[in-house]
Amino acid sequence: MIKAVAVDMDGTFLDSQGQYDRERFEGIFQTMLEKDVRFIVASGNQYYQLRSFFPEKEEQITFVSENGALIFKNREVLKENHFTDNLVQELLAFLQAESSELEVVVCGLKSAYMLKSATQRFKEFSALYYFQLAELDSFADLPEDVIVKFALDVPVDQAPKVVADLNEAFKDQITAVSSGHGSIDIIIPGITKGSSIQWLLDQWGIAPNELAAFGDANNDLEMLALTEHSYAMKECSPDVLATAKNQAPSHNEAGVLQVLEGLLS
């Protein structure tokens, strides 16, 4: 019996236009509430962006944001993991010296932060994913906040070197991962969507195989590995296809909703 559902957003729950069938989901969500099935939104994106997709439902949903670093419920933080202040400063100094073409968003609990000098292209791109986003004259002006992730943008041909340099310079202190197209995330080692969802399941007394999980990208692997009821979307990475036990239809065909209707019936 399914007692919890965890969904990635981009490429999984959302279609290519960043939308979902809200009317269809309404019926599914009401069934989940009636059956006491927990609904978890698990994404690399910012909490404030994620909750905007579920107006009037946000207090009934658990949000695992920033690839597992932050867990929110009822607008409150249930659990958080962050870098030390010293490591944040060391990383910023390293990034400044690494490449003059590198751009960065520093992701905190209260807000995300970027430089006023960032390119307009990067500002517009970042605004899609960070609804709480402040522009600073310098990262020396970072407000009092805990930092949970760094999101980088570099020329595509520089990305492999930047990832390798970061992981070598800060071995065991950070994990740098490329998500393609010159995008790089610096995350906390050992903190993933999977580890955070396992923590939630433990709190709720739910067994891993009572979870249904849906994903399409490699930051979903640990989450999908938790349960036999794991679903790779039709358009997914080879690693996701190898890890998930089942396959869902395309995100452009409301694949998650199709599967949930069957699981909850």
pLDDT tens digit sequence for 92-119: 999 988 877 899 999 999 999 999 999 9
Q: What is the pLDDT of residue 92?
A: 96
Q: What is the pLDDT of residue 180?
A: 66
186 sits in which H/E element: strand 183-187
Q: What is the pLDDT of residue 218?
A: 86
Extents of the domains making up the chain? 4-80+191-264, 85-187
Euclidean distance between CA atoms 95 and 166, whole angstroms: 9
Share of the chain above pLDDT 70, in %: 99
pTM of the model: 0.92
In whole angstroms, how far apart are CA 26 and each of 76, 126, 143? 24, 29, 39
Euclidean distance between CA atoms 136 and 7, whole angstroms: 33
**CA-CA-CA-CA torsion for 237, 241, 243, 248, nearest 10 degrees?**
110
Which residue of the set 8, 153, 185, 216 is catalytic?
8
pLDDT tens digit sequence for 158-181: 888 999 999 999 999 999 987 767
Q: What is the pLDDT of residue 156?
A: 87
CA angle 26, 31, 37 (to 5 degrees): 115
Contact 232, 248 (CB under 8 A): yes
Euclidean distance between CA atoms 104 and 40, whole angstroms: 28
Q: What is the pLDDT of residue 100?
A: 79
How long, in residues, is the chain?
A: 265
Mean pLDDT of all residues in the chain?
95
8 given a catalytic annotation: yes
Average pLDDT over residues 81-99: 94
Phi, psi dihedral angles at 106 (to 5 degrees): -95, 120
Q: What is the pLDDT of residue 85?
A: 95
Average pLDDT over residues 49-78: 95
Contact 155, 101 (CB under 8 A): yes
H helices within 43-184, ranges in order?
Answer: 47-51, 85-98, 120-127, 159-169
Q: What is the pLDDT of residue 98?
A: 84
Q: What is the pLDDT of residue 59?
A: 92
Q: What is the pLDDT of residue 265?
A: 87
* pLDDT range class, residue 239, cuts 50, 70, 90: very high
* pLDDT range class, residue 75, cuts 50, 70, 90: very high
Q: What is the pLDDT of residue 23?
A: 97
Decide which of 3.40.30.10, 3.40.50.300, 3.30.1240.10, 3.30.365.10 is the CATH code for 85-187: 3.30.1240.10
The CATH homologous superfamily to which domain 4-80+191-264 belongs is HAD superfamily/HAD-like (3.40.50.1000)
* pLDDT range class, residue 182, cuts 50, 70, 90: confident
